[in-house]
Amino acid sequence: MPMKILVPVKRVLDYNVRPRVKPDGSGVDLANVKMSMNPFDEIAVEEAIRLKEKGVADEIVAVSIGPAKAQETLRTALAMGADRAILVEIDQDVEPLGVAKILKAIADEEQPALIVMGKQAIDDDANQTGQMLAALLDRPQGTFASAVTVEDDQVSVTREVDGGLETVRLSLPAIVTTDLRLNEPRYASLPNIMKAKKKPLETKSPADYAVDVVPRLKTLSVTEPPVRQAGVKVGSVDELVAKLKDLGVTA
């Protein structure tokens, strides 16, 4: 039977933009910079659309937790092929556990058979939300997916591990987090972008789901990475060994 797929997406600094640290070191400066959908989430949206095109799913619901401008990210998901969207509007940053709790409440309402989401967001690289959500919902999870196949009431997930590839079979309902090699996201066509403006987008707040999003962590400071020192050329292996010894490098 066709099923519902829930796809969380996040508005982040565009991956082509070089981050700038605020002068006071309190965080990354996001003023007047290009923002876009988290690349891993974009892959998740594409995978959900492909499952729908195969007749596996009949509805795709995109969800974002963030400021009002995150509507742009949701409209992108709708233009790609999602059917409707939910924005949980909040101006402050929400930690992974808070995001997972909100997504759990939404999943309890929507009852999706499959939740497909990016393995991590490129702004904090936490790689926690999917695993936390699986624990809160008590559902099986397949992380770092490079291939996803749904058959009857099960989903097979091929995932990359240190030794190569591992395939796990999960009973639905389940949670899958996507890796870069899963697919190549499509570009939204102009007609679909226009259609996306008419698709339903519901706005909620964390209070609507009775979720406490008070931060548990405090950022002490954010600094630029140290400037990489210039390299030197050596004329022989002996000179290379001598340089390494001077640097305290041992075999």
Peptide bond into 173 cis (omega under 30): yes
- At 156 the pLDDT is 95
Tokens of 151: 């058959």
- At 31 the pLDDT is 84
Contact 81, 75 (CB under 8 A): no
Burial class (CB in 10 A: 0-12, 13-18, 19+), 46: buried
| Residue-averaged pLDDT of the chain | 92
The domains of the chain, with CATH numbers, are 3-219 (3.40.50.620)
Q: Are strands 114-118 and 174-178 parallel, antiparallel or unpaired?
A: parallel
Per-residue pLDDT tens over the stretch 175-192: 999 999 999 999 888 999
- At 251 the pLDDT is 60
Selected residue with higher pLDDT from 224 and 41 = 41
Q: Is the pLDDT score of 234 beyond 70?
A: yes
- At 1 the pLDDT is 66
Selected residue with higher pLDDT from 202 and 234 = 202
State pTM to two decimals.
0.86
Instruction: Please compute the mean of the pLDDT values over residues 224-244 and round it to a whole number.
Output: 85
